[in-house]
Amino acid sequence: MDPLLLGVLVAIVTVAVLFSGISVANGLLIVAAFFILIFDGVRSLELMPEILFGKLDNFALLSIPMFIIMGASIASTRAGADLYEALDRWLTRVPGGLVISNLGACALFAAMSGSSPATCAAIGKMGIPEMRKRGFPDGVAAGSIAAGGTLGILIPPSVTMIVYGIATETSIGRLFLAGVVPGILLVGLFMAWSLFDTWRHGDAKTLIPTRFTMRQKLEILPRVVPFLAIILGVLIAMYGGYATPSETAAVGALLCLGVAIIIYRLWNAKALWVVLRDSTRESVMILFIIAAAGVFSYMLSSLFITQSIAQWIGTLDVNPWLLMLCINIFLLIAGFFLPPVAVILMAAPILLPIVVSAGFDPYWFAVILTINMEIGLISPPVGLNLYVINGIAPDIPLKTILKGSLPYVLCMVVAIVILCVFPWLATGLPEAVLGPAV
């Protein structure tokens, strides 16, 4: 059977299996085993356990549970509320300052946790009720937090960037640096929209900001210092040459647990157990998907599907930017239905050779891919962040949350366009710090 036709058949079967409601990892294993059995025979199935466990034999994977522990330990405290309150006191007189405070708190929390749902939950529990109390529409309150939470997978440390680095064998440290400036750009676009939207609807007519004295503004600052110290400590450990990304993740996890225990008095053994239990559960889920995706990738390669697709696209006489537009549309649609980790593990190994052969930088592409995944996090039918926000504020309909997040989707599209016009926004910092990529 022609490998390209076989690839189409694999894609149809995979989509059908994943839409059946089965978990992503089990679905990938079932599809891989089925096609290996049909086209390679029973003996090829003997390789599946070796590939499954071999995919996990990677030191870089240790960073995933460590960064997840960072997010879980901070999310279990009042850290999100403190970040939110500090920014609110300083930005209270700015039009739309409360929305901007939430977005800024999301950005800082994302820099510590690397998790989108954790960022949504931590900031949303405090920010949504406060915005509603001060007169902001439900859509603005919920939509801004849902969008701000997506920053967790772009601003380093990012679990999805780690997964991309492992799947494509690219430098995780360089990927983290590539996400810094685009992350700041996206925060700036979100805040700019919030300012414009507040001005358009007349902030002063309906929203009465709370007044804070200078003493109240200054007394909240020490609560922010530990978070800045954690971010600084992780950056120094990684880019100062003191530790690998995996070792740096361990440092970050230790610092976050220390802050949770010492500053927020998380002494209760039961509370610590919940942090470790939830972190283990999420880590195992991600690692299982990585292992299953390794088997799935082996199936695609052994049936010459990956090679045939790359060769076919290479023979097409199309403009590289038209090719990139098609790739973006594919990623956008995939992100609507699948979690970011699954999309990256299935698509990145296939797309990266095509992207590089078209003359695009692999680290720049990682940022473009991640922003596409961010859009998927606040878009139905999956839209994980939408459901997290709905869980925090169940009286706000999903339709209202979605409507409030749509302007931020447009901001992400604008960010992708800006990065296409100015790719050095993603590649400049890694090259300045680590030198040109080899």
Q: What is the mean predicted confidence (pLDDT) over 115-140?
A: 78
**How far, in Å, are 33, 194, 220, 378, 421 from residue 407 at the CA level?**
42, 9, 32, 11, 21
Q: What is the mean predicted confidence (pLDDT) over 50-63?
A: 81
Q: Could you tell me if 331 and 343 are in contact, meaning their C-beta atoms sit under 8 angstroms apart?
A: yes
pLDDT of 186 reads 93
Query: What's the rounded Cα separation, in Å, for the pair 398 and 226?
Result: 35
- Give the rounded percent of residues in the chain with a pLDDT score beyond 90: 12
- pLDDT, greater one: 28 or 75: 28
Q: What is the mean predicted confidence (pLDDT) over 41-66?
A: 81
Out of 141-150, 226-235, 424-433, pick the least confident. Answer: 226-235
Query: What's the rounded Cα separation, in Å, for the pair 321 and 196?
Result: 31
Q: What is the mean predicted confidence (pLDDT) over 268-272?
A: 81
Out of 24-28, 162-166, 267-271, 430-434, pick the least confident. Answer: 267-271
- pLDDT, greater one: 366 or 169: 366
| Highest-scoring range by mean pLDDT, 89-93, 119-123, 130-134, 371-375 | 371-375
pLDDT in tens, 361-384: 999 999 999 999 889 888 877 677
| Highest-scoring range by mean pLDDT, 187-191, 321-325, 389-393, 414-418 | 414-418
Q: What is the mean predicted confidence (pLDDT) over 304-315?
A: 72
Query: Is it the case that residue 149 has pLDDT exceeding 90?
Result: no
Over the chain, what is the mean pLDDT?
Answer: 82
pLDDT of 370 reads 92
Query: Is it the case that residue 311 has pLDDT exceeding 90?
Result: no
pLDDT of 205 reads 41
pLDDT of 310 reads 67
pLDDT of 314 reads 65
* Largest interatomic CA distance in the chain: 75
DSSP string, 128-170: HHHHHHTT--HHHHHHHHHHHHGGGGTSSS-HHHHHHHHHHT-
Q: Could you tell me if 388 and 344 are in contact, meaning their C-beta atoms sit under 8 angstroms apart?
A: no
Helices and strands counted in the chain (H then E): 22, 0
Q: What is the mean predicted confidence (pLDDT) over 49-75?
A: 81
Out of 113-122, 150-159, 251-260, pick the least confident. Answer: 113-122
**pTM of the predicted structure, to 2 decimals:** 0.81
**How far, in Å, are 128, 156, 294 from residue 135 at the CA level?**
11, 33, 50
pLDDT in tens, 197-213: 777 765 444 445 566 77
Query: Is it the case that residue 43 has pLDDT exceeding 90?
Result: no
Query: What's the rounded Cα separation, in Å, for the pair 383 and 338?
Result: 9
pLDDT of 216 reads 74
pLDDT of 14 reads 84
Q: What is the mean predicted confidence (pLDDT) over 162-178?
A: 89
Helix 159-168 × helix 362-377 angle, to 10°: 130
pLDDT of 420 reads 93
Query: What's the rounded Cα separation, in Å, for the pair 135 and 128?
Result: 11
Please report the sign of the dihedral spanned by the C-alpha atoms of residue 117, residue 118, residue 120, residue 121.
Answer: positive
Closest CA to 437 of 214, 254, 173, 233: 173
What is the 8-class DSSP label of residue 219? H
Q: What is the mean predicted confidence (pLDDT) over 405-431?
A: 93
- pLDDT, greater one: 233 or 171: 171
Helix, strand or coil, per DSSP, at residue 427: helix
Query: Is it the case that residue 394 has pLDDT exceeding 70?
Result: yes
pLDDT of 94 reads 67
pLDDT of 206 reads 45
pLDDT of 298 reads 83
Query: What's the rounded Cα separation, in Å, for the pair 27 and 25?
Result: 5
